[in-house]
Structures are given as C-alpha cells and as structure tokens.
Amino acid sequence: MTQVLYYYITLLCSLRQLFQVLPVQVNLVLSFLASGYLVPTGLALATLVYWFEGATATERAAHQRLVLRGLLAALIAWEAAMLAGLAWRRGLNNPEWAQVISELACWQGPPLPSFAAAVGFALGTTLWRRDWRWGLGYCLATGLWAIAQVCYGLCYPADVIVGTVIGAGLAWLLGYADWLDRYLDGVIRFVRGLILA
C-alpha cells in the first residue's frame, strides 16, 4: 500500500517545480486554464450548441439522446471520483500513515481523482461514439484543462489518469446500455413539449 501511495504521489511530481520557474505570464495562463471557468464554460456551451444541432428532427433527437447520455455518464463519473477520493481519505486517516506521508517529497494533500478529467472525458467519450470530431474536441479541451491543473499543482498526474479511466470507462460502458434510450426519449418528449427539443 505504501508503494502504491508512493508511486501515485511521486509520479511526474516534479512538473509543478518545473512550471514554477517559467515566466509569470505562463503561470497566469496556466492558472486561468486550470480554473473552473474557461474549459467548463466552453464545454457547457458546446453541449448546448450540440443539443440544438441537426438538420432534421430525427437527427436532432439523436444528438439530444447523446447529450443526455453524456450528462448522465458525467454525473455518475463525478460521483465515482468523489467516492474514490473519500476512500483514499478514509484510508489515510490513520496516525500510522502520518509518518509515511511526512516522508513523501511531493505531498500536496490526499489523492482525489480529477473531477475535471472524469466529467470531461465522460462527455467526450460519449460523443466520440457517434461523432468523433465533437468527441475529440471535448477530449482535447478536457486534456488541456487537466494538464493545466497538474502543472499548476492542483492535483497529481495520477489523479488525472484515474479520473480519465473512471470517466471514459463509465461512458463507454453506458454506451452499451440501449435500454436507457426509452427513458431518455421520455425526457426529450417532455422538453419537446416545452418547444426546446
């Protein structure tokens, strides 16, 4: 377990020190990229645009089903990442670990799978299954966001990897759940009644 924690924490942990010596402007851009504004707002607006896309009602309904599936995957991924983080915290909330942690050079707090990676890759992977261009755009934007968070010292690189696995894996699995379409169509019909789908 100590070894696992050691590798989790120290894997590429010198990145933060590397980026700290860069010019202040680069760090400003990094902080903006890493913040919860630029990329999440961009992704949310792109999702909004995708919701209304489609030359015909059938095509648009397919997009809307995909958006709902992606949002569901993102929500589940968020929960899963949070639960994994809680498990780490509970596991490390022990006096025996205090000694081990004090010896770790790169300690920045307990590990917590990256929410950014989990949510962004869940959405990106869902869209990729139907429209790889949109999926690629989402994945690139999420990747940029997660890398900026690592470089800015907000999370460990392994956090991003675990978040990516959780998000992408869940979305991929959810892609096989065809039975979901029935319920998603119900939501779309409701929103269509509001003349917004």
Chain positions contacting another protein, by CB under 8 A: 28, 31-32, 35-38, 40-41, 44-45, 48-49, 52-58, 60, 115, 189, 192-193, 195-197
Question: To the nearest whole angstrom, how small is the minimum distance from the Cβ of residue 62 to another protein?
Answer: 13
Do 150 and 117 form a contact (C-beta atoms < 8 A)? no
CB-nearer residue toward another protein: 29 or 161:
29
The distance from CA 134 to its chain's CA centroid, rounded to whole angstroms, is 16
Question: To the nearest whole angstrom, how small is the minimum distance from the Cβ of residue 139 to another protein?
Answer: 20
Whole-number CA gyration radius for the chain: 19
Q: Rounded distance, CA 178 to CA 44, Å?
A: 25
Question: To the nearest whole angstrom, how small is the minimum distance from the Cβ of residue 107 to another protein?
Answer: 21
DSSP assignments along 74-100, one per residue: HHHHHHHHHHHHHHHHHHH-SHHHHHH
User: Computed from CA positions of residues 141, 44, 81, 37, in that sequence, does the dihedral angle turn out positive or negative?
Assistant: positive
What's the one-letter identity of residue 188? Answer: I
Q: Rounded distance, CA 9 to CA 52, Å?
A: 43
